[in-house]
Amino acid sequence: MPTLKHGRNDELLQCASSPSVGTDVVQEGEKPLSARTGPRPLPLFDKVRNFKGADQVRALGLYPYFRTISSAQDSEVIINGRKVLMLGSNSYLGLTNHPKIKEAAKAAIDRYGTGCAGSRFLNGSLDIHLQLEQALARLVKKEAALLYSTGFQVNLGVISALVGKGDFVLADKSDHASIVEGCQVSLGEFVRFAHKDMASLESRLQKIDPEAGKLIVVDGVFSMEGDIIQLPELCRLAEQYNAAVMVDDAHAIGVIGKNGSGTASHFGMTNEVQLIMGTFSKSLASLGGFIASDAQTIDYLKHNSRPLIFSASMSPANAAAVKAALDIMLSEPERIAQLWRNTERMQQGLVSLGFDLGASETPILPVYCRSLMTAFKLCKRLDEEGVFVNPVVSPAVPPGQELIRVSLMATHTASQIDFALDKFGKVGRELGLLV
């Protein structure tokens, strides 16, 4: 749960710091703690006992997290026995309930069982893993690829393995948390630059020893803002200052580039990007992630990336699902075309209503509320009206930039989009977001 003490909401959502649960304050007539029986409170858990933000939002009836879905992730889902239009999923191609993908997963279980019982490094490498790695390398036009069990592990494992003592890693301030975590875990110096600000990036590069190792890591499509990194200018700076480039294509695979192959393809910059990362939990309808690069770099990561070496390998069913989803994506290009038609319809409709969508260029449409409580209220009211969306608050976005994240799928129908626009208009006027 993000911290909920920002601006005008301080008095409502402040984390309780006054003595209450979990403190050693002695009330009148009580024995001192030292005289009581039973275990003493552990200081480690003070932060746990003093965490009040989630309960405060629950008490207001606005808590928007961990909503339970009892159906497949599709354009419509079932929540509390009620059908709701899903506009909060990352399933851009709408493949999570595709019969061919489900059959592929079932067949993999029949052949390989349900798990690998070990890491890729030891007993967990299956032929299906190698086949998928080869297919992914072909997709993004790199020599080799390597699977990880989650997308978070890819960024954590690759950055921490490549950026060592004396090296520098530079990241956009809007990069995903997994990139930030990888940068912080690495032994190198972590440098951040302003969002998509190439002058800011260059000013940082100018201060670094030209002979030092440097890695620039960016999202291709930024997961909250929905905008695209200006890769040509970034790669020009990388070449000028002798830095390597890694692009996180979690939200770009299946969305931009030739056949949905991502950001480097979109700009024709594949040769200028040394590392391409992607995940399987968005367009590719499964779980896990990959890194693609030259064969020598992939071999190095196989033997030095701790999250890979010390984690169980990707399950057979997940790997088979990705391979089937990849085949469908490549054989049915009309899915990506439909995704973009849906995006245009929703984007134009929201703008016509008067909503601020920022600088979005993709099927991720941020509806800016710029107020924590307004974002929670908008999410709650839309849910009541039959539309599932996600509120995005600090630390995912800076305080004052709170938004509702709308994401389109290829399988949304025009009537579903129009239904959502009608509800956005109704609730937006009700909450004073629209005039």
- Indicate which residue of 223, 293, 360, 407 is catalytic: 223
Dmax (CA) for the chain in angstroms is 76
Query: What's the burial of 207, exposed, middle or buried (CB within 10 Å: 0-12/13-18/19+)?
Result: exposed
Three-state secondary structure call for residue 33: helix
228 DSSP 8-state letter = B
**By the 8 A CB rule, do 297 and 265 touch?**
no
Is 281 tagged catalytic? no
> Which residue do the tokens 């030739």 mark?
258
CA 330 distance to own-chain centroid: 23
Phi, psi of 100 (to 5 degrees): -65, -35
Give me 351's structure tokens.
């703008």
Active-site residue identified among 6, 129, 142, 282: 282
Residues in the chain, how many?
Answer: 435
Distance of CA 432 to the CA centre of its chain: 30
Quote the tokens at residue 283. Answer: 């367009």
Question: Order of strands across the sheet with 289-293?
Answer: 144-148, 289-293, 275-279, 244-248, 214-219, 168-172, 189-193
Strands 289-293 and 76-79: unpaired
Catalytic annotation present for 371 = no
Burial of 334 (0-12, 13-18, 19+ CB in 10 A): exposed
Q: Which of 214, 251, 323, 423 is catalytic?
A: 251
Of 74, 94, 176, 177, nearest to 388 by C-alpha is 74
The SS3 assignment for 312 reads strand
177-185 and 151-162 helices, crossing angle to 10°: 30
User: Would you please indicate which residues are annotated as catalytic (active-site) residues?
Assistant: 223, 251, 282
